[in-house]
Amino acid sequence: MKRSPLTASRDVFAAVGDPTRRRLLDLLSRGELPVRRIAAPFAMTRPAISQHLGILLRARLVEVRRDGRERYYRLHASPLRRIHDWVRHYERFWKGKLTALGDFLDAEEKKERRR
Amino acid sequence: MKRSPLTASRDVFAAVGDPTRRRLLDLLSRGELPVRRIAAPFAMTRPAISQHLGILLRARLVEVRRDGRERYYRLHASPLRRIHDWVRHYERFWKGKLTALGDFLDAEEKKERRR
DNA sequence: TTGACAGGTAAGCATCTACTTACCTATTCT
DNA sequence: AGAATAGGTAAGTAGATGCTTACCTGTCAA
């Protein structure tokens, strides 16, 4: 699978694949914040946070609002819907409702393969 | 955020962050398959697929069963629950139910900050 | 207007990642 | 037994990632 240099910037899955960025979203789910405030609880420099925010921005997971010299970032959760929908497909598997059917299908497929 | 060399191996989010691995899970959701069958539809060599399966295995997203010289991989969806739970937390945001409250909280926080 | 603050951005670096090819072991088929 | 098949694993590589420091612009306050 080709991965252009900006994959994580666009792909919600990749964007959320990083634990720091997940923490950022969690933090922003409490309400909008200026960068300085966002960066404070993290053990990394502000530019690093800025870069993570840039990735979240390009994945449309956050929005910015300028106010004087500050930039307030706020959560924009809707792209997470894509992940939600994808995972939801698998819900039936871990809920066990499909175990029997799954096994049945597996067996059927094995028969198929033998032909 | 420190990332040991095997991060993706353990972290479900990272494991699922890769599009190829997502496709693998989708494929396996139809039933178990031997590696050769799994690799067929992918435009990449079998060892590459083997490595991806290794990562999914360490993330406990798949299980293997040996049968002669073949190894049947099958989906083990339950770790996806973690992602589901995490995303579900944000559901209320994109459903818009919290927009008004969100704005209210933002406003409150701004007042707070001004003090 | 000069300095301090907010924050984006470039350059550089160490490491990780997603592949490849080459090779090895276990099993089955003749 | 010997060849073919299934598939794991090592080593190498190009490029992506996650940081850092250095620097720049825009805004506010004295």
CA distance A23 to A42: 9
- Chain D positions within 7 A of any protein Cβ atom are 5-11, 15-22, 26-28
* Phi, psi (rounded to 5 degrees) for A29: -70, -10
| Chain A residues touching B44 at Cβ < 8 A | 1
Least confident range from A21-35, A95-109, B2-16, B35-49: namely: A95-109
Q: Is A24 exposed, middle or buried (0-12, 13-18, 19+ CB in 10 A)?
A: buried
Give me the pLDDT at residue B18, please: 96
> Rounded mean pLDDT of chain A?
85
For residue B1, pLDDT over 50 is answered with no
Give me the pLDDT at residue A24, please: 98
- Each residue of A50-63: pLDDT tens digit? 999 999 999 999 99
| A77/B86 touch (CB, cutoff 8 Å), yes or no | no
The better pLDDT of the pair A92, A108 is held by A92
Across the range B59-71, mean pLDDT stands at 97
CA distance A106 to A99: 10
**Band of the pLDDT at B96, cuts 50, 70, 90?**
confident
Q: Record the pTM.
A: 0.82
| Beta carbons within 10 angstroms of residue A60's beta carbon | 14
Start-end of H helices in A1-115: 7-10, 12-16, 19-28, 35-39, 46-58, 80-94, 99-114
Cβ-proximal residues to B4 (8 Å cutoff; 6+ apart), any chain: none
Give me the pLDDT at residue B10, please: 77
| Chain B residues touching A108 at Cβ < 8 A | 31
Give me the pLDDT at residue B4, please: 55
Looking at the complex, report in whole angstroms how far the Cα of residue B28 sits from the nearest Cα belonging to chain A: 10
The better pLDDT of the pair A88, A4 is held by A88
